[in-house]
Amino acid sequence: MKNICFCFQMHAPYRLKRYRFFDIGQDHYYYDDMQTEEHIQWLVNTSYMPLCATLRDMIKLSKGKFHCAIAISGVTLEMFEQFAPEMIDILKELASTKCVEFLATPYSYSIASEYNEQEFKQQLALQSDLIKNVFGLKTSTVWNTELLYTDEMAYNLQKMGYKTVLSEGAKHILSWKSPNYVYQSAGSSKVKVLLRNTALSDELSFHFSDPGWANFPIDAEKYADQLKNLPEGEDLINIWCGAETFGVLQNAGTGIFDFLKALPYFILEREMGFVTPAEAAKKMTASDVLSSPTPLTWAGEAKDLSVYYGNDLQQEALNKLYAVAERVHMCQGKHLKMAWLRLQDINYLHYMNHIDQGHTQYESAYDAFINYMNILSDFLQLVEEQYPTTIENEELNELLKTIRNQEEEIQSLKQKIAKKK
């Protein structure tokens, strides 16, 4: 039986305010709250909210047979809490149906897995804790930023106890193979890899309302037929999109929400089912080994990280940022921790791309770089003030340990004295 696996991913970056070099050392608040609020509310109203409402209806209409998964970064959940609490309510409602799996994803929209293993681990834990606290659900499947996957990362995930990881069904990795199977990671025999069906997912994201597209107009019946007609044995079809496919890339006027709503009926009619990634990994056995020693993502044409660290500007920003990772881990300050997470958002790096700047609000890649680097300079100065670079990391660690253990030390010595008396 063929199973359809739907995943929707939600993330919006904090908007950084205009930050000039003469603000460095003077101003430690980096965000433009008004713009952030305006953007997230627009996103919620045009896309996230109608999408969640549609998913709720789909579950209801299919009597719980429709299953899907949602990936939300911790940063975005924070934003929902602050600026759009109605999103928390509807997500809770979805969580209570037991038909929706919440995926583990880095707390910030970061590529920490490439730079600092400990940071990656902490971010996954932080986000999972938040999901657990808010929705009462445990995460077990990992959707890394931009579906980033490497063999090494899979190995690290296994150490953290995760068994399923999602990535892109890119041609250069699969060649003649199909994305519609479960694979086993070359990095760890215990980790299963599910792959996005690029063609069928992109058909919704980019071609749904494109009159020049061969399948135009796409309707639920036709789409279900397409799924049904896939070769026998290809039993897991992963349709994963950014949530803004629904409402932004394809606006409500294209009928994308009605299409989605009608889909379960036609899928079930054709004797296919719905699964979440966790259910798929549990139900199905791996048919082959998948290996990608270098980053595999769903980004750009190249399906790697070149969009985010392809040029000198991006590399300098990333290197400067992650150079202080270990020091930040020792820090306790709340502001520092928060800034650290938010500044890792790779959207800021996207804006520094010379060719494709994504949804930038900057005039050019250089403009984006200047603003980010000024902020980063201030941030690095704050870290430096707490822990000067003149002290080695290890030495510092020892000192900190001593300081933190002081309490216990004093306590035990006091007890000793008491005994002696």
Partner 1 sequence: MKALMFGWEFPPHILGGLGTASYGLTRGMAQQEDMHITFVIPKPWGDEDQSFLRIIGANSVPIVWKDNNYDYVKQRMEGKMSPEEYYHLRDGIRYDYRRIGTDDLGCVGFSGRYPDNLIEEIGNYEAVASVLAHSLDFDIIHSHDWLTYPAGVFAKHISGKPLVIHVHATDFDRSRGNVNPTVYAIEKRGMDEADHIMCVSNLTRQTVIEKYGQDPRKVSTVHNAVEPLEHPEEFTKPERKDKLVTFLGRITMQKGPEYFVEAAARVLDKTDGVRFVMAGSGDKMAEMIDLVAKRGIADKFHFPGFMRGKQVQEMLAMSDVYIMPSVSEPFGISPLEAMQVGCPSIISHQSGCAEILQHAIKTDYWDIDAMADAIYAIVKYPAMYKSLHELGQDEVNHIRWYDAGLKVRRIYDGVINHTL
Structure tokens, 240: 């994963």
Segment interacting with partner 1 (CB under 8 A) among 97-105, 241-249, 266-274, 308-316: 308-316
Q: Is 132 in the site for partner 1 (CB under 8 A)?
A: no
Q: Is 16 in the site for partner 1 (CB under 8 A)?
A: no
Helices (H) and strands (E) in the chain, counts: 19, 10
**Which member of 185, 197, 297, 374 binds partner 1 (CB under 8 A)?**
374
Q: Is 280 in the site for partner 1 (CB under 8 A)?
A: no
Q: Of 115 and 265, which has the nearer Cβ to partner 1?
A: 115
* 207: number of Cβ within 10 Å: 17
Q: Is 354 in the site for partner 1 (CB under 8 A)?
A: yes
122: Cβ–Cβ under 8 A, 6 or more apart, which residues? 107, 329
Cβ atoms of residues 264 and 55 within 8 Å = no
Q: Of 25 and 233, which has the nearer Cβ to partner 1?
A: 25
Cβ atoms of residues 237 and 200 within 8 Å = yes
Q: Is 298 in the site for partner 1 (CB under 8 A)?
A: no
Q: Characterize 11-43 residue by residue with b for buried, 16 or more Cβ atoms within 10 angstroms of its Cβ, and e for exposed.
A: bbbbbbbebeeebbeeeeebbbeeebeebbeeb
Q: Is 315 in the site for partner 1 (CB under 8 A)?
A: yes
Q: Is 373 in the site for partner 1 (CB under 8 A)?
A: yes
Q: Of 260 and 318, which has the nearer Cβ to partner 1?
A: 318
Whole-angstrom Cα distance, residue 322 to residue 320? 6
Q: How many residues bind partner 1 (CB under 8 A)?
A: 19
Q: Of 42 and 366, which has the nearer Cβ to partner 1?
A: 366
Judge residue 127's burial from the number of C-beta atoms within 10 Å of its C-beta, 0-12 exposed, 13-18 middle, 19 or more buried.
buried
**Residues 190, 193, 197, CA angle at the centre, nearest 5°?**
165
**Which member of 5, 191, 313, 339 binds partner 1 (CB under 8 A)?**
313
Structure tokens, 398: 């020892």
Q: Is 384 in the site for partner 1 (CB under 8 A)?
A: no
Cβ atoms of residues 256 and 214 within 8 Å = no
Structure tokens, 203: 């058909």
Which three-class secondary structure state does DSSP give residue 142? strand
Shortest CB 248 distance to partner 1, Å: 27
Q: Of 27 and 367, which has the nearer Cβ to partner 1?
A: 367
Q: Is 274 in the site for partner 1 (CB under 8 A)?
A: no
Q: Is 367 in the site for partner 1 (CB under 8 A)?
A: yes
Segment interacting with partner 1 (CB under 8 A) among 44-52, 123-131, 149-157, 360-368: 360-368
Structure tokens, 279: 């259910």
Beta-bridge partners for 194: 166
Q: Please give the radius of gyration of the chain, using alpha carbons only, rounded to the nearest integer.
A: 23
Q: Is 4 in the site for partner 1 (CB under 8 A)?
A: no
**Which member of 29, 213, 216, 366 binds partner 1 (CB under 8 A)?**
366
Residue written as token pair 């804790």: 129
**Which member of 38, 81, 129, 312 binds partner 1 (CB under 8 A)?**
312
Q: Is 316 in the site for partner 1 (CB under 8 A)?
A: yes
Q: Is 364 in the site for partner 1 (CB under 8 A)?
A: yes
Nearest residue to 266 (alpha-carbon basis) of 97, 120, 99, 65: 65
Q: Is 317 in the site for partner 1 (CB under 8 A)?
A: yes
Shortest CB 353 distance to partner 1, Å: 12
Q: What is the amino acid identity at position 170?
A: A
Q: Which residues of the chain form contacts with partner 1 (CB under 8 A)?
A: 20-22, 24, 311-313, 315-317, 354, 363-364, 366-367, 369-370, 373-374
